[in-house]
Amino acid sequence: MPLDRRALVVAFVMISVVLAAGAMRGALSAYEHGFVHRFGTYLRHHFVVADPRSLYLATALIAIGCACAGWCLLGPPGAAAAIGIAILAPRIVLNHMTRARTRKFVYQLPDALLALASTLRAGSSLSKGLELLSTRQPAPLGQEFTIVLNEHRVGRPLCDALADLRRRIDAPELDLMNTAINVSRRVGGNLADTLESLARTLQEKAHLEGKIAALTAMNRAQGWVVGVLPILITVVLYAQQPERMKLLFTQWYGWIVLAVVGLMMTVAAAMIRRIVNIDV
């Protein structure tokens, strides 16, 4: 009887291990597919020649290295934290790069609209004006209008090409530009004056956003200090009294304290971000 019970326990453990390995393999496959799709789309839209699968392998190796270092330094909580950071870091970097490219595009848009308005006043067509934008404007605006112009040349309606531009560049300023161009092509009107007025409005908006950013710079710096200071204090105390501080990472009540502190820091960072993030 004990032998049969032991055999059942061994069988149950083996089945559990197989099921857990299958679930982990499925989760890793889904994460790899999402990672390759997101980064592949980003690289194509940003004209970067690179293999997203190579980036995934590099990220996986970095995650394994961080997990081993976290396990050696802080035990299981350190390994879990390192894996979590390694999983979230690519998404954070991708979002940061996308926002930076969008801001640069929006910064270049008023000058491009003024140039397009001048081209239309000189008697050129809208297609010729878009061609001048694609060749004379710097990246990323020139690159994006090159895509729009190429799609229009192969027979795609200009409104659909501009709608795709709006989906690639998450900027509400493009809604105004697309609406002005589409209305002018359908019902007529002086598109040059409309684009010039829109460009002046966007310039005033950018000027106002710059003032707001300057006024809230100290508040954003305070948010960074509030977020980084507890981590620095923890590192200093761990270096001075490692035996006592080790309890935070090896005992269950220490894990609860870390979870509460992390939650409070996250809530504080979100509140500060909402306060200083003023939409114009």
Tell me how crowded residue 215 is: count the other CB atoms within 10 A of its CB: 11
pLDDT higher at 99 or 79: 99
Report angle CA 185, 190, 194 to the nearest 5 degrees: 95
> How many angstroms separate the CA atoms of 268 and 262, rounded?
10
Q: At 267, is the secondary structure helix, strand, or coil?
A: helix
pLDDT at 133: 87
Give domain limits for the chain: 26-100, 104-198, 216-276
> How many angstroms separate the CA atoms of 225 and 242, rounded?
24
pLDDT at 2 over 60: no
Mean pLDDT on 95-117: 89
Mean pLDDT of the chain: 80
Mean pLDDT on 81-94: 78
> How many angstroms separate the CA atoms of 184 and 117, rounded?
13
pLDDT at 261: 84
pLDDT band at 110 (very low <50, low <70, confident <90, very high): very high
pTM beyond cutoff 0.85: no
> How many angstroms separate the CA atoms of 273 and 280, rounded?
15
Query: Which residue type occupies 21?
Result: A
pLDDT at 113 over 50: yes
| DSSP per-residue codes, 140-175 | THHHHHHHHHHHHHTT--HHHHHHHHHHHS--THHH
pLDDT at 3 over 60: no
Mean pLDDT on 98-103: 87
| DSSP per-residue codes, 104-118 | HHHHHHHHHHHHHHH
> How many angstroms separate the CA atoms of 118 and 132, rounded?
11
Q: At 125, is the secondary structure helix, strand, or coil?
A: coil
Mean pLDDT on 88-117: 86
pLDDT at 225: 80
The tens digit of pLDDT for each residue in 136-155 reads 888 888 888 998 888 888 88
pLDDT at 12: 66
Distances (CA, A) of 60 to 32, 112, 198: 10, 41, 46
pLDDT at 228 over 50: yes
pLDDT at 1 over 50: no
Question: Could you tell me if 36 and 53 are in contact, meaning their C-beta atoms sit under 8 angstroms apart?
Answer: yes
> How many angstroms separate the CA atoms of 162 and 174, rounded?
9
CATH class of this structure's domain 104-198? mainly alpha
Tell me how crowded residue 135 is: count the other CB atoms within 10 A of its CB: 11
Report angle CA 207, 135, 177 to the nearest 5 degrees: 45
